[in-house]
Amino acid sequence: MLMINFMKKVKAVHCGHKTYLSGEIIAFGQTRMFNLPIIGGEPGFCLDCYQKMAIQCPWCGQMILPGDPITLYKPEEKPVLLTFPEQSKIFSLIPTRLIGCGGKGCCESKTDIVGIMSTKGVPHVSPGAYDFLELNTIPHVAVSR
């Protein structure tokens, strides 16, 4: 059994920074406890880099981190809740789909979750979701406002 010491700093594989394996991520006025994903016994990125990768849900304002479930609603599907904060991301322009969180107050149904956010700034979307969401070109590029 692999034993992990969360109180010892380790070097992240991709960014090269020293980091704890668990800690707080603070973004958009919110604080969230976060355990770094461990692959092959080491984290890919440090807590600070994960914090910089955070985007904000355009519907509820919650932080979305790599590994979080995401939705891709059209603005007209939820116009009352749309706030479109500065750190929101657009997934596709035609049709317009915004990357949103899978949180209880935001996601209407767990069947609306179509993928997870990645460390590259674009979500991993289930292949079957492209037809369901009427997305006609692959790949889509997430862009910041």
Please check the confidence at residue 13 and state whether its pLDDT lies above 60.
yes
Would you state the pLDDT for residue 18?
95
When comparing pLDDT for 17 and 40, which is higher? 17
pTM of the model: 0.78
Structure tokens at 10: 């380790």
When comparing pLDDT for 77 and 29, which is higher? 29
Angstrom distance (rounded) from CA 97 to CA 72: 5
What is the average pLDDT across 64-82? 79
